[in-house]
Structure 1
Amino acid sequence: MAIFSVCEAADKQPPNIVLLFIDDWAWNGSPVPMDDAMENSRMPVLQMPNVERLAREGMKFRNAYASPQCSPSRVCIQTGMSSPRSGYTVFMNDHGQEYYDEKGYKGFPVVPCISDMTIDENAVTIPEALKPLGYVSAHIGKWHMRGDPGDEGYVLHDGDTSNTPGNTLPDNAKQRLPDDLTDPKLMFSVTEKAIGFMEDQVKARQPFYLQISHYAMHEGRECLPATREKYVRHPAVQAYYEKLGTTAEEVTRKSDPAIWLGMGEDLDGRIGVVLDRIEALGIEGNTYVIMVSDNGYRHSFLPGLTQPHHGAKWWVWQGGIRVPMIVKGPGIEAGSAFDGNVINYDLLPTFVDWAGGDPESLKQIDGVSLASYMAGTVPNKDFLHRNLYFHYPHYRSGMPHSAVVSGDRKLLHFYDRPDVPMLFDLSIDMGEVHNIAETHADQHQQVYDQMMSYFEQVGARIPKPNPDYDAEVYKQAKEYDERVQWGAFEGSRHLEEDEK
């Protein structure tokens, strides 16, 4: 029974849109297989019945993509722009070139780029696009784009939040999980505030957009103590303790997989509360729910959990950009799946389409509406083979590099090794083990030229060779071995043990 009565014309009202935005969550980070034919496209240890419920009731996306770091991904969603177009390609370097000099990048092979620091004032964001269509919008939880969410049209929000509020425990690697923790990663209070917004809009018979941007699953690890206890005796968790030479009683919070797994289960419970309240409010038949991660990740702490992808967050290898995504709502077939490539900057035009607007009216964006495909339209070749662009012209644990995904083909370009062309066939090589650029030189050149032409068209910043490059300085960097291992290569790379 609905908590509030719904008017007879409710089914004619524009649909509500709820985005469940999860932080740092790998493509294979839930018990839902993103590819039914791949056992390692899921994490069976983790219990998430509500995420499984979403998959049963909606459509899962086998090939969903995002940015390799959270802040650019958030800007992509808000603006419908790719990162190279928006210029917001990383969060960290808010001091320009001086940041890289201070961090010890001065003698590295290329001169990295600076990044925009806020959403462009001329960009049309989700609330600004939906307001003329009669919507009111709220953003609850992690913002992490600098600036004021209210300036982008959100009537309810938590301000310019970063990761900090979600880390409710002191940043102490040796600290244990306290027994009195009741709101890990603020997921309970974030959910309560979001539900209050939904209830207010239903009372007012007002269509709404609600973005619930959780601080989970970002490090540091937090969960309810009782949830952790469900996982500490799991054989895989016990095996990990043994590998570390510790026990469930002695392991530190930062190293404890039981806390990470507990965080996932607690998050799933909050997702379930939102789904249940949507149903109780009588709006389930007129509400879209999207669950997606902000970037790829690498959850490799459990023995036996093999990884389908190479790389991790901060890299444009598949491990950094491929994400889980599930959508349910009016006209979406329950238990369905979509295999075409989709990306986070498709969401804004999709929302406008759902709201009854014209996605074509959005100018200077890169996304396309997915609404018709979710309703069952078979995508044509133009959609299936469109170019998706990824651009990370920076150093951190990674290095300046870019990528294009087009159908089953993927091009990577490392700016420190422009002499090494890289091309992969994802249909048979999801792990990006075999570089086929040498045997498909024409195809590589075509996609590379398209990428550089696009970068020039949108004004993307491109790293330049460093005239002060010092190989010895570069080798002394603590991330040097990983950069060599995860950088450009010819032929076939050595397959790491956990990528099978």
Structure 2
Amino acid sequence: MRKDRWMTMMYWRNCAGRWIDCGGLTRLFACVFSACFAVAPMARADEPSASNRPPNIVMLLIDDWAWNGTPVAMDEAMENSRMPVLQMPNVERLAREGMRFRNAYASPQCSPSRVCLQTGQSSPRNGFTVYMNDGRQQYYNEKQFKGFPVVSCVSDMTIDDDAVTIPEALKPLGYVSAHIGKWHMRGDPGNEGYVLHDGDTNNTPGNTLPAEANQRLPSDLTDPKRMFSVTAKAIGFMEDQTKAGNPFYLQISHYAMHEGRECLPATRKKYARHPAVQAYYEKIGKTSETVKRKQDPAIWLGMGEDLDGRIGAVLDRIKELGIEDNTYVIMVSDNGYRHRFLPGLPQPHHAAKWWVWQGGIRVPMIVKGPRIKPGSAFHKNVVNYDFLPTFVDWAGGDPKALKDIDGVSLADYMAGKKPDNAFRNRMLYFHYPHYRTTMPHSAVVSGERKLLHFYERPEIPMLFDLSKDMGEVHNIADKHPIEHKNLYDEMISYFEKVGARIPKRNPDYEPDIYKNAKEYETRMTWGPFKGQRALDEDEDG
């Protein structure tokens, strides 16, 4: 459905709903007048009060944050599902006041994940599967990956014109939307419906320190990863919309916790004294004074604590503005990650960012807001393309009216509804048909089963039981061939339906070129396997 058709339909649906609720033609005429002449309806005596206005929605999107990268245990039965050294009292506060999601999924890289979030579409459907070198992917396929086993795919470079984004879906329901911080999808956020934004930003604005010129943390840093200025601008937007009486959607897309480590010097000093950090310095043959920024866990930990302070500033201002009871706050990461500094605890997941193993796609997620039970947890699978229909549902719209999306509304489940079999076993699709440190591959998660498919080695079927094998150590495809075939057939059928790009065998494959290429060893270590794989050093404790 075209964006303009969706917005017109939702506008008239909203108007009709208001007319029915108020029982008069006067309200309908006001809607007609507003639609035809672009004049905002005048305030009325029967205008809804603050207590029954549509809820505000605040999305805190954190960059490159592992499922186990917060001090909140995403699985209370697993000690290594959290980062115990890191102090984040406001994230812990969110968990106490809201719902933790044990099985939250995103995309294996930041940009595809952001497109999924905005559009409610999976990566195979929206075609934005990688952010790579501003449109020069074909060059890289032909030059850098020449002679590799398969010809990887190109990706869309921007959000499709026909896709309905979050602010476009919410505007007919009366919402004003802002996007502050990292965009990283190319294009103008204003063209997607955001009235306030920072433009077509990528990672660069968040790296306030040039790595090559300053390998140490300067003593005068006051806005690490721009988290303080990003937060101040976001709070200003909340204040303006609250004063105007507008329901709002606010996405605060932080540059933290992405590499280019930055934090306040005082926070870094605190963590540099921690015994676990001191032990790490000793392990790598460095000291607090000689370690460089990229190696320094004290800066990464300090970045997390400083970010927590900015999350707290947003939560505090929401409360001070008197809108806490009518505001949803979502905290989630854009992709999985592998934080190798996890003192004394083995990694819970296999692989890392850019891979569709659990380490690349499983993320921390916490949500608080109206009808969500404090201190609760949700254990079924959710994914980043569920956000759009959920927000439309919260806003009073009909998520089923959204066309060509893959997500479903989580609103009722967050309010306590028990998932049925259809929800529990639905297919979640992940698609990374590219070379990087990776090889092209795809995955499907359905219930507690996960299928992976590597286009280089299609003869190795891969299936995992996540209920018993979260680390994806035991490939059970040979023991369950029918189950594997059914999932594989479902995936291929879906890919064909949505027009997903699929890697092809390379007729000019040259094994020697491939074996001598950069990252070959990583590809072999984290590629497909039969039976049981060997554990990585940081997985076995």
Settle same-fold status: TM greater than 0.5. Answer: yes
Counterparts of 1:51 and 1:302, CA distance in 2: 18
* Equivalent residue number for residue 179 of structure 1: 219
Q: TM-score scaled to structure 2, two decimals?
A: 0.90
Deviations 1:445-496 (A, max 9, x none): 0000000000000000000001111111111112011100100000011122
In the alignment, structure 1 residue 274 sits paired with structure 2 residue 274:
no
Report what 1:466 is aligned to: 506
**Residue in 2 aligned with 1:439?**
479
Q: In the aligned structure 2, how far is the partner of 1:272 from the partner of 1:421?
A: 46
| In structure 2, distance between residues paired with 1:276 and 1:302 | 30
* Inter-partner Cα distance in structure 2 for 1:92 and 1:299: 23
- What does residue 141 of structure 2 align with? 100
1:250-289 mapped onto 2 (5 Å cutoff): 250-289=290-329
Does the Cα contact within 8 Å between 1:236 and 1:302 map onto a contact in 2?
A: no
Three-state SS of the structure 1 residue aligned to 2:190 is helix
Q: Secondary structure at the match of 2:339?
A: coil
Partner of 1:389: 429
Partner of 1:414: 454
CA distance, structure 1, for counterparts of residue 231 and residue 55 of structure 2:
20
Q: Name the structure 1 match of 2:348.
A: 308
Distance 1:174 1:354 in 2: 46
Shift of 1:63: 0.0
Superposition map of 1:316-465 within 5 A: 316-465=356-505
Question: Does residue 237 in structure 1 map to residue 256 in structure 2?
Answer: no
Contact kept, 8 Å, 1:19 with 1:212, in 2: the verdict is yes
Deviations 1:63-110 (A, max 9, x none): 0000000000000000000000000000005123112233x2111110
Which digits, 9 at most, give the CA deviation of each residue in 1:126-161, with x for residues without a partner? 000000000000000000000000000000000000
What's the offset of the Cα at 1:437?
0.2
236-245 or 410-419, which moves further after superposition?
236-245
Supply the distance in 2 between the matched residues of 1:239 and 1:92 (Cα, whole angstroms): 37
**Given the alignment of the two structures, is residue 44 of structure 1 paired with residue 96 of structure 2, yes or no?**
no
Residue type matched to 2:70 in 1?
Answer: S
Percent identical: 78
Q: Does 1:82 align with 2:122?
A: yes
Structure 2 vs 1, CA of residues 8 and 359 (structure 1 numbering), >3 Å: closer, same or farther? closer
Alignment of 1:1-12 (within 5 A): 9-12=49-52
Q: Matches of 1:260 and 1:240 in 2, distance apart?
A: 13
Cα distance in 2 between the residues matched to 1:305 and 1:161: 36
- The residue aligned with 1:204 is 244
Question: What is the CA–CA distance in structure 2 between the aligned matches of 1:388 and 1:205, rounded to whole Å?
Answer: 38
2:112 aligned counterpart, secondary structure: helix
Counterpart position of 2:263 = 223
Structure 2 Cα separation of the partners of residues 172 and 194 of structure 1: 31
Q: Report the CA distance shift for 1:78/1:225 in structure 2 as closer, same or farther (over 3 A).
A: same
Could you tell me which residue of structure 1 aligns to residue 515 of structure 2?
475
Q: Secondary structure at the match of 1:168?
A: coil
CA distance in 1, matches of 2:142, 2:272: 43
SS of equivalent to 2:66 = coil
User: Which one of the candidate residues 516, 520, 524 is aligned to 1:484?
Assistant: 524
> 2:3 matched to which residue of 1?
none
Give the superposition deviation at 1:9: 1.2
SS of 2:104's partner is strand
Q: What is aligned with 1:246?
A: 286
Taking the aligned partners of 2:126 and 2:67, their CA distance within structure 1 comes to 25
Deviation at residue 172 of structure 1 after TM alignment: 2.0
**One-letter amino acid of the counterpart of residue 162, structure 1:** N
Correspondence list, 1:131-142, <5 A: 131-142=171-182
Match of 1:3 in 2: none
| TM superposition shift of 1:310 | 0.1
- Determine whether 1:69 maps to 2:119: no
Distance 1:301 1:63 in 2: 23
Q: Offset of 1:497 from its aligned partner?
A: 3.0
Measure the CA separation in 2 of the matches of 1:96 and 1:249. 41
Q: What letter is aligned with 2:285?
A: G
Q: How many residues align?
A: 493
- CA shift for structure 1 position 281: 0.2
Query: Residues of 2 paired with 1:455 and 1:24: CA distance?
Result: 27
Q: Which residue of 2 aligns with 1:127?
A: 167
Q: Is the 8 A contact 2:141 2:151 kept in 1?
A: no
| Alignment-derived partner of residue 4 in structure 1 | none
Q: Quick one: distance in 1 between partners of 2:369 and 2:214?
A: 44
Unmatched tracts of structure 1, length 5 or more: 1-6
Q: Which amino acid aligns with 2:132?
A: M
Which amino acid in 2 is paired with 1:294?
Answer: D
TM-superposed deviation, 1:233:
1.2
Normalised to the residue count of structure 1, the TM-score between the two structures is 0.98
Question: 2:130 aligns to what SS in structure 1?
Answer: coil
The separation in 2 between residues aligned to 1:238 and 1:8, in whole angstroms, is 57
**Which range is displaced more, 303-312 or 253-262?**
303-312
Q: What is the one-letter code of the residue matched to 2:204?
A: T
Spell out, residue by residue over 1:30-88, the C-alpha distance to the aligned partner (whole angstroms, 9 max, x if none). 00000000000000000000000000000000000000000000000000000000000
Deviation of the 1:418 alpha carbon: 0.3
State which structure, 1 or 2, has the greater radius of gyration over its C-alpha atoms: 2
Give the AA of the match of 1:97: Q
CA contact (8 A) 2:101 2:366 kept: yes
Shift, 1:301, TM fit? 2.5
Contact 1:240 1:302 in 2 (8 A): no
AA matched with 1:227: T
Contact 2:83 2:342 in 1 (8 A): no
1:186-219 deviations in whole A, cap 9, x for unaligned? 0000000000000000000100000000000001
Structure 2: any 5+ residue segments left out of the alignment?
A: 1-46
